[in-house]
Structure 1
Amino acid sequence: MSAVQSPSVWLKLIRQPSAIIGGLITFLALLLAISGYWISPDSSPDANRMIVEIASRPPGFRQQFLLLPKSPQPPEVSWWKRTLYGQPDRFTFIPIGGHKWGQDSVVVQQFIDEDLYERVAFPLTLFSADQAASNRTTSSDQKLNNQQSITSVNPDRYIKEQRFLLGTDKFGRDMLSRLIIGTRISLLVGGIAMVLSLTIGLLLGSIAGYYGGKSDQVIMWLINVIWSIPTLLLVFAITLLLGKGFWQVFIAVGLTMWVNVARLVRGQLIAARNLEYVEAARALGYRDFRILVKHILPNIMGPVLVVAAANFASAIVVEAGLSFLGVGVQPPQPSWGAMIKENYNFIITNNPMLALAPGFAIMLLVLAFNLIGNGIRDALDVRS
C-alpha cells in the first residue's frame, strides 16, 4: 500500500484545520460552479443581461422592472443545457419608477438616469401573446384567447423588483451573477492546468529519472529552457500560437505548469530506482512500465500532490492575469480577471466593490488550494 493510500494519512489529513478549511471553500466553489445558472439572479448565458440605465450601481441597489415579453420568444432549453449554458431571457427588463395598468395599455415611468424618468405606454397586446402561451392555448383558439387575454393580463407576472447585492458593472450587468458564473472559469482552468501538468510532468520526469543517460540529458535541457522563460511570457507565446479563446487559454496555462512536476518526479525517481523493492520487482521479471506505475509512482505521489495543489492555485492567478491583460477568456464570458479590468477604475471612486469583489474571490480560491496543499504536505510529512 502506498503512502498516499494509507488510512493513517487520510486521518491525519482530515485532522488538519487548514485542509478542512481549504476543502470546504473548494467544495462551495464547486457547488456554485455547477448550480450557477440555477441560483444566479441573472440566468442568461454568461450572465450577460445588459441594462445600461442602471450601470455602475453600488451594492444593495434596488430597482423595479417592467418585464416586456420578447418577440419571438426564445425556446425553452433542457435542464442539462441550462446547467451548462443558461437560459436566454424571455423578457426585456425595462427599469421603471412607477406603473399603472389600464384597459388597453400599461403606463410606466421609465427610468432614464438619476431622477430622470420618461412616461411611456405599452399596449397590452405585447403581453397577451405571452399570457396565452403561458396558458398553453391551442392554435385554433389563439385569436379568441388573445383578445380575451388583453383584459386578463396578470400584472404581477410582469412587474419585478430586484436587489443587486454586489451592484452592477458599467454595462448594467449583475455583479453577483457574473461572479458566480465566473467561478467555473477559474475551477476549469485550474483543473485542466493541473491535469496537463501532471500528465506531462509525470511522463517526462519518469523517463528522465528512471532511465537516465541521453533521455535524461534531453529532457533536462528542455526543462531548463522552459524554466528560463518567464511564465507569463511563455503563456503569451502559446496563446498567440493557439489563438484567443476559451479552451486555448486553458491549454496554454497547462502547458507552462509541468516543469516543476517533471523536476520533482525526476529527483524522486533517481532516489527510488535503486531501492530494494525496485530491485526485487526487476528480479521478478516485471516490465519497466509496471514497476513505474505499480510500485514507484504510488510511493512518490505525496510531494507530487503538494505541487499539483500549488499548480492549481497558480493557474487561477495566471488566468486572471491573462484576462486582465485582454488575452485570456474573451467577453462576454465572465472571468474574474476581466471583471477587475473592466471595473478597476472604480477603486478610487464611490463604488470600489466592482473591482474588489472578484479580487477577493481570486484570493479566497487561491488560498483554499494553498491550504489544501499545506494539509497534504503535513499529513504526508513531505520534506521541502
Structure 2
Amino acid sequence: MAVLAKNPVPSRPPSYYIRQRLLQNKPAMVGLLLILLSVLVALGGYALMPDSTPNANNGLVQFQKKPPGFSAQVLRIPRPVEATADVNFLEFVLSGKPAAYAELPIESYRFTRDSLYVQPLRSNNALADQVRGFSLQEVVAEPGQYRTRGHLVQTIEEEQIVARTFWLGTDKAGRDVLSRLILGTRISLGIGFVAVLISLVVGITVGALGGYFGGWVDKLMLFLMTVVWSVPSIMLVIAISLALDSKGVWVAFVAVGLTMWVEVARVVRGQILGLKEKTYIEAARVLGIAQHSIILKHLLPNMIGPLIVIATANFAAAILVEAGLSFLGLGVQPPAPSWGMMVNEGFQLIGARAGLFLVLLPSICISLLVLAFNLLGNGLRDAYDPKIPISNA
C-alpha cells in the first residue's frame, strides 16, 4: 500500500513560479516601482504641473535661465474671458488649458488711491523697466463685487500678487523646467509604448511568416530583416519623415517603432523554427486546423515569455533613440517638451549658470527610466528561467 505524504507539495501553474522569482528580484522590483511612478506622473500630466498651459510653454523673459529654487513675485492680470476657454477635467489632464492670467514679474509694488504701481522685475543683463501703473479695477476678475477700497486692496495682495517658485529652475525661454520634465515623461513613455507596439506587430508578423512557412518566404523575410538591420535608425527616421512630409510627435512614434522590429522578428522566427516540429503542431496539421490558427493559438502563446523580455528591452532602447533624435532636432518638435530636446537646449547654454542644470536634470530622467526598464527586463529574463530556484524565505 502506498504511503501518502503528510504535507504534499501543491501543484501550481508555471505563472506562479515566474511571479515568485520576479517578486524576489529586488533590482527588478525597484525598476518596476520607478516605471509605475513614471506612468502615474505621465497620466497625471497637467494636473501635476506648476505650469498647466499647453506644452508648459508659458515663458517670461524676466525668468530666463534661472537656477533651481528661484522665486519671485508676480502680478496676475486677468485675461479676457474669450481668451481663456473653459475645459473639462479630462481635456485639462490631456492637453492643459490656456492661462487665465497674464503675468508680470515685479520687484515691488505700492497702492496710491485707486491705482496700483509696480516696479517690473528686470531681465538678465537688462536695465530696470519704468514703474507701471494699473487701475485697481484692472487687476481683479470681477471688480463689481468689491464695495470698499480696502477689500479690493486685500484681494489684490492675497490673490493677484503671488510668489512663483521654480523648484528646478527655468530654461532659456523662461519656462518652468519641472513642468516640462513632467510632460516629457508622457512623451518618452508614449513613444516607448507605441514603438514597442509597432515593433511587436511587425516583428511577430514577419518572423512568424518566415519561420513557419520556410522556403522562399523565409528567404524573403530574412532579406528584409537584413536590409532594415543594416540601415542606421537616424537614416530610417529621416526617410520616414520625408515620406510623410512631416516632423512631429506621431512621426517620431512611428519612425522609432519601424526601426526596432527586426530583433523581435529574429526571436520569433527562431522560436517558431524550433516549435513547429513538435508533435502537437504535427497533430494540429493532421486535424486540418488552419495555418493561421496554428500560428496564433499554438505557436505564439508559447513564446510570450521571450516576447515580454524583448519588449521591455525595446522600451528602454526606444526612449534612448527618441532622446537622441530629439537632441538632433529630428524627433519631437518645439514647443512640445522632450527630454532629448531639453538636453540640447542646455548643451547650447554650457558656460551659463543654469546650463549645467538644464543638461543634468533631463539626462538623469532619461538614465533612470532606461535603467528601470533594463532592471525589469533582466528580472523578467531570470523569472522565466526555470533553473533559478525560488527562495522559501
TM norm. shorter chain > 0.5 = yes
Aligned AA (2:368): L
How far the C-alpha of 1:240 sits from its partner, in A, is: 2.1
How far the C-alpha of 1:289 sits from its partner, in A, is: 1.8
User: 1:380 corresponds to which residue?
Assistant: 384
User: 2:28 corresponds to which residue?
Assistant: 19
How far the C-alpha of 1:359 sits from its partner, in A, is: 0.8
In structure 2, stretches of 5+ residues that fail to align are: 1-11, 388-393
How far the C-alpha of 1:346 sits from its partner, in A, is: 3.2
For 2:102 and 2:160, locate their aligned partners in 1 and report how far apart those are by CA, in whole Å: 10
Aligned AA (1:70): R
How far the C-alpha of 1:382 sits from its partner, in A, is: 8.7
Any idea what SS the aligned residue of 2:75 has? strand
Instruction: Choose from 368, 372, 375 the match for 2:372.
Output: 368
Q: Deviations over 1:283-320 (max 9, x none)?
A: 33322222222221111122222111111111111111
For 1:157 and 1:165, locate their aligned partners in 2 and report how far apart those are by CA, in whole Å: 21
Contact 1:4 1:380 in 2 (8 A): no
Instruction: Choose from 136, 156, 173 the match for 1:171.
Output: 173
Question: Identity rate of aligned residues, in percent?
Answer: 44
User: 1:135 corresponds to which residue?
Assistant: none
Any idea what SS the aligned residue of 2:121 has? strand
Aligned AA (1:184): R
* TM-score where L is the length of structure 2: 0.89
| Residues 1:65 and 2:74 are matched in the alignment | yes
For 1:4 and 1:267, locate their aligned partners in 2 and report how far apart those are by CA, in whole Å: 26
In structure 1, stretches of 5+ residues that fail to align are: 133-144
For 1:294 and 1:247, locate their aligned partners in 2 and report how far apart those are by CA, in whole Å: 32
How far the C-alpha of 1:127 sits from its partner, in A, is: 2.6
User: 2:210 corresponds to which residue?
Assistant: 208
Instruction: Choose from 333, 337, 350 the match for 2:340.
Output: 337
Q: Deviations over 1:197-232 (max 9, x none)?
A: 000100110010011011111111111111111122
User: 2:58 corresponds to which residue?
Assistant: 49
How far the C-alpha of 1:121 sits from its partner, in A, is: 1.1
- Correspondence 1:151-170 to 2 at 5 A: 152-153=151-152, 154-155=155-156, 156-170=158-172
User: 1:105 corresponds to which residue?
Assistant: 115
- Correspondence 1:277-292 to 2 at 5 A: 277-292=280-295
Instruction: Choose from 125, 131, 134 the match for 2:142.
Output: 131
For 1:189 and 1:354, locate their aligned partners in 2 and report how far apart those are by CA, in whole Å: 22
How far the C-alpha of 1:350 sits from its partner, in A, is: 2.3
User: 1:354 corresponds to which residue?
Assistant: 358
Any idea what SS the aligned residue of 2:118 has? strand
Contact 1:4 1:299 in 2 (8 A): no
For 1:48 and 1:71, locate their aligned partners in 2 and report how far apart those are by CA, in whole Å: 19
How far the C-alpha of 1:131 sits from its partner, in A, is: 2.4
Contact 1:4 1:302 in 2 (8 A): no
For 2:13 and 2:167, locate their aligned partners in 1 and report how far apart those are by CA, in whole Å: 43
How well do the aligned residues superpose, as a CA RMSD in angstroms?
Answer: 2.0
User: 1:217 corresponds to which residue?
Assistant: 219
For 1:88 and 1:365, locate their aligned partners in 2 and report how far apart those are by CA, in whole Å: 30
For 2:17 and 2:56, locate their aligned partners in 1 and report how far apart those are by CA, in whole Å: 45
For 2:353 and 2:113, locate their aligned partners in 1 and report how far apart those are by CA, in whole Å: 44
For 2:267 and 2:64, locate their aligned partners in 1 and report how far apart those are by CA, in whole Å: 49
| Residues 1:183 and 2:195 are matched in the alignment | no
Contact 1:103 1:151 in 2 (8 A): no
Contact 1:67 1:158 in 2 (8 A): yes
User: 1:319 corresponds to which residue?
Assistant: 322
For 1:186 and 1:121, locate their aligned partners in 2 and report how far apart those are by CA, in whole Å: 45
User: 2:391 corresponds to which residue?
Assistant: none
Instruction: Choose from 199, 202, 211 the match for 2:201.
Output: 199
